Structures are given as C-alpha cells and as structure tokens.
C-alpha cells in the first residue's frame, strides 16, 4: 500500500531500527515503546488483520515471535516478553513483543465482570460462529 507506514519501512522508504529481517517478515523497535526493547514484527506482505492472513503466515510469524521473545528476554534482562496482537492504529498486521518485569506496574488490560448468564450466551455465539 502506498500510504502504509509499515510498507514504507519494509521498502526502506522510512527509517527503522530493525532487529530482524528475513524473506517474509521484518521486526523493529517501535517508536512508542511500553518498555525498552519493545519491538513490532510485521509481514512484508500488506495484510490488515491477522484473521485475513494465510494460516502459514500466522504460524511463521509466531515462530519469529518466539525467537525474538528469547532474544529480548536475554538482552533486556526482563522476566518475560509479553506478546500482543493489536493493530487498529496502523492498518497492517503486526505483533508486539514487550519486555516485562513481574512487578513493573505497567498498565494491564482493562477487565470487566459478566452479568449472570451472559458468559454462557457469549460462549454459545462464538461456538455457533465456528
């Protein structure tokens, strides 16, 4: 895509601090890190949402993710590497790998409680959609 920031990084039209690249994926430090060493992993093919990606690509990106999790945990001396698949801010499938400490007090995902019987109804809707 002509106006996709990530595609421009892939095509070396925009700078990035790349930490990994192969024929299918590239990973680089995000410009808005949650913690030092926070990277994004993106496919070189422009796909907006993970659910639209071919199964092979999804499997392969998570192999790269695992490799980077280990490298980040080692290099950043963190307790673990959190993985998040989000992406409404940039319309290009990407995986975040975020160095974390067990007691770093970084924000957690907001949660809520289901009302009585609500969880069962939602579960049934998901099952029906499968």
Kindly list the catalytic residues: 94
The continuous run of DSSP H or E covering 64 comes out as helix 55-76
Phi, psi angles (nearest 5°) of residue 18 = -70, 140
Q: What share of the chain is helix, strand, coil (3-state, %, to 5)?
A: 35, 20, 45
Neighbour count for residue 60 (Cβ, 10 Å): 16
d(CA 83, CA 24): 19
């Amino acid at each position: 895509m002509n106006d996709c920031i990530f595609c421009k990084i892939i095509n070396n039209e925009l700078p990035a601090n790349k930490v990994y690249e192969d024929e299918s994926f590239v990973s680089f430090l995000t410009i808005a890190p949650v913690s030092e060493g926070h990277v994004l992993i993106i496919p070189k093919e422009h796909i907006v949402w993970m659910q639209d990606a071919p199964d092979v690509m999804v499997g392969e990106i998570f192999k790269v993710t695992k490799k980077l999790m280990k490298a980040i945990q080692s290099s950043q001396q963190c307790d673990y590497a959190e993985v998040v698949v989000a992406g409404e801010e940039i319309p290009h499938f990407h995986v975040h790998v975020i160095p974390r400490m067990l007691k770093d007090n970084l924000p957690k995902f907001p949660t809520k409680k289901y009302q009585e019987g609500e969880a069962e109804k939602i579960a049934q809707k998901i099952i029906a959609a499968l």
